[in-house]
Chain A
Amino acid sequence: MHRSSEVKHVASYLNTRGCECFGQPCESHCPVLTDRTIHVQLKTFIKIRVKPDRTGVVTDGVKHSMNPFCEIAVEEAIKLKEKKLVKEVVAVSCGPQQVQETIRTALAMGADRGIHVEVSGKDYETLGPLQVSKIFAALAKKEQADLIILGKQAIDDDCNQTGQMIAALLDWPQGTFASEMTLEADKMKVVREVDGGLETIKIKLPAVVTADLRLNTPRYATLPNIMKAKKKKIANVKPADLGVDVCSRLEVLKVDEPPQRQAGVKVETVDDLVGKLKEAGRV
């Protein structure tokens, strides 16, 4: 079973291909859903299947959309622009042609322009945090960015590495798992959600911040904004143009489904329980 902090996350992403409940409808696993359960149930849930050659999961025909944490990141960037604390919000995504739709969503939410870093085919399948962070580091230098905001992790691979790696490559300070961020002069005050509670830090700009769940609630794109977004530009860039090699240093050996949950055994008394545990060699 999941720890309670994880359950909430799983509950939010019923629409995703990264759902942790392999093959099971989410709601039957997660008893700690809020009263949003009712309409959440109406969503179709994706049954994650491992490819027959065990090199990965099946992604054909699975709906792809913006990572929820990234939505929160975009929302925060737009909030900063609305407060007139930043001049321009640029939405960036790496991947094949389809990611343009995701960039358009960011534009419809209020980003000023987009950059599509084209990575497709085999390169895309092996694209991981290290390559993405190299691309972002190169772009940050090219665009002279002052702040990079990302989602804390992607919900399909749960790597939680890209933000940190970008900061390391650029030698910039980082504020990860942000549940609050406030710009104070040239420093960013970040309240981080850590296992022990909340940690407040102040980091100098330029910096990297990764967004956690409670940072904000992303806005809907309104219809007029969707129409306006059509006029906003999405630039096309290739990793080679940025001097980045997207070749992966990792090789996936195999991917397996988690073992099927075995049936439990009910016992009548505590003595029986101890006896059974001893039998199983657990005690």
Chain B
Amino acid sequence: MGFRNIIGRRLGLGLVRRRKPFSTATCDGDGNGNAKSINLYSAINQALHIALETDNRAFVFGEDVSFGGVFRCTTGLADRFGKARVFNTPLCEQGIVGFGIGLAAMGNRAIAEIQFADYIYPAFDQIVNEAAKFRYRSGNQFNCGGLTIRAPYGAVGHGGHYHSQSPEAFFCHVPGIKVVIPRSPRQAKGLLLSCIRDPNPVVFFEPKWLYRLAVEEVPEHDYMLPLSEAEVIRQGSDITLVGWGAQLSVMEQACNEAEKDGISCELIDLKTLLPWDKETVEASVRKTGRVLISHEAPVTGGFGAEISASIVERCFLRLEAPVARVCGLDTPFPLVFEPFYMPTKNKILDAIKATVNY
């Protein structure tokens, strides 16, 4: 039992394995404190409660956050911390982020919510030109490190063009901000607390499909998970799979299927996309010699392209097969065609086999 616990902790298994008796995260206060089985939006809610509790200059604002938000992530905050700290903004994303930058520049923790990641584009200028470059252009006199922007991203089954997008790649192209994406409730709470307390502006994308669907044991106390550290959530020796967010559960299913065919897959959760943990991925590729990246965003110019180029640069001679990418198609996120667009388990499985048999 003890041995399995150690292995379990090293493996850091995620939500699909929740039946197993060992804990999931690698470095939280495991063993300590009570853990309750909750879903993703409750975990995020807990993180926000703790963030506002522990720092009385932390603020949460955005469209409709006061009553709890359209996904209930901000329930109870306004009642507990008051309207001066938890408040609604009008419908103006550019205004929300700009305002957040200013608030953060005065040393506060500004936690801004963009209701859907699809709506983040009016704020794109503020994030890229104002938030990301503030510290740099002021010679470190000012910074907006206290800014955290939270946005639900990703497909949800029926979201259509404007409620399903994954815009992470746009933001990974901006030095000066961090981009973080959790895969499960336990990860989300720890990562969100780290993001809020990180001295750099962070864009935190939450996989909306998992808000209710993902349920996990989450410790009730205050804990943080490190940023820019990828996690190997499944050990393997034949091929490395890299992903983040909701896509990981799809990849895990593909790995299980591949195992039946004797292919041993190593699955890595990147967690932080910018700056991303090249060392962990590289070490894994050096072990397996093959890599496959999967994300929901369209394949051309997606973040998989960056990972692919970096790995090829660093591990060219070790690679046994070309880097595979199984991603969304190069079309706008469709309405009725969503099942065709998505990088499904079968597409990933196919690509695993093609790569292994190259």
A binds B: no
